[in-house]
Amino acid sequence: MTPETIPEHLLTNADESEIAQLLARCFATDFGGRSFFQTRHTCRHVLRHDQRIIAHLALQLRAVRLGEALVTIAGIADVATDPDHRGRGHATRLLQAALAAARRSPARHVLLFGTAKLYAAAGFRLVENPLTYLDMTGARTGQLHRDRPVEHLQCLDLGPETWDGTGPLDLLGGLF
């Protein structure tokens, strides 16, 4: 199975619906029937079996503020594999495709929130940046969280520049 990359603006209604259904099967979090958690992404990486989407990973290119520096990052989100298709390396293939896309982009680092072993195997490391972000759960603008400690924030450097894992990180919007 070869990962397929779909730019966000080319998502079909059928793919959007399939991704939303997959996320609903895989997460206890309420996505509100959408194919994304809080904000739309740059592109989606999917795997299909019998023409159906069985695995999904979203990639979001965005600017964030790390200390005083404005830094372009790629955020990985909404990683999901249909429960009937787990344990076959699908998420690893999608992660590899997303990292290849991130390396071709202006991003200098890749960030994600997660604990799966495949992230450490790909070179991600836990960082402890105090985080500022806007809560947009439920498709509503919520509370602004400032300098909040977070768990499971991981980073992968794409070049020689090393991420400052302790400086304040402002996502300049919601989570990805």
Q: Mind listing the pLDDT tens digit for each residue in 113-135?
A: 999 899 999 999 999 999 999 99
16 in any annotated domain: yes
From residue 155, give the alpha-carbon distance in Å to each of 18, 52, 108, 164.
29, 31, 10, 10
Predicted confidence at residue 117, as pLDDT, reads: 92
* pLDDT for 29: 84
pLDDT value of residue 138 = 78
The residue with tokens 């520049």 is 161
Helix (H, G, I), strand (E, B) or coil at 20: helix
Q: Is the pTM of this model over 0.85?
A: yes
Pair 86, 47: CB distance under 8 Å? no
The token duo for 48 is: 């299909």
Taking 70 as the pLDDT cut, the residues of the chain under it are: none
Asked, for residue 175, whether it belongs to a domain, the answer is: no
Q: Given this model, what pLDDT does residue 22 score?
A: 97
Counted domains in the chain: 1
Task: Indicate whether 11 belongs to any domain.
Answer: yes
**CATH number of the domain that residue 130 is part of:** 3.40.630.30
- Single-letter amino acid code for the residue at 25: R
Res 137: pLDDT: 82
Task: Count CA within 13 A, CB hemisphere, residue 47.
Answer: 24
Residue 3 region, left (φ>0) first, then alpha (ψ -120 to 50), else beta? Answer: beta
Secondary structure of 79-105 as H, E, C letters: EEECHHHCCCCHHHHHHHHHHHHHHHC
Residue 63 forms part of a structural domain: yes
pLDDT at 86: 96
Say which DSSP state 161 is in: P
Q: Which SS3 state, helix, strand or coil, does residue 63 take?
A: strand
Q: How far apart are CA 116 and CA 121, in angstroms?
A: 9
Question: Is residue 24 situated within a structural domain?
Answer: yes
Q: Whole domain around residue 103: which residue ranges?
A: 4-170
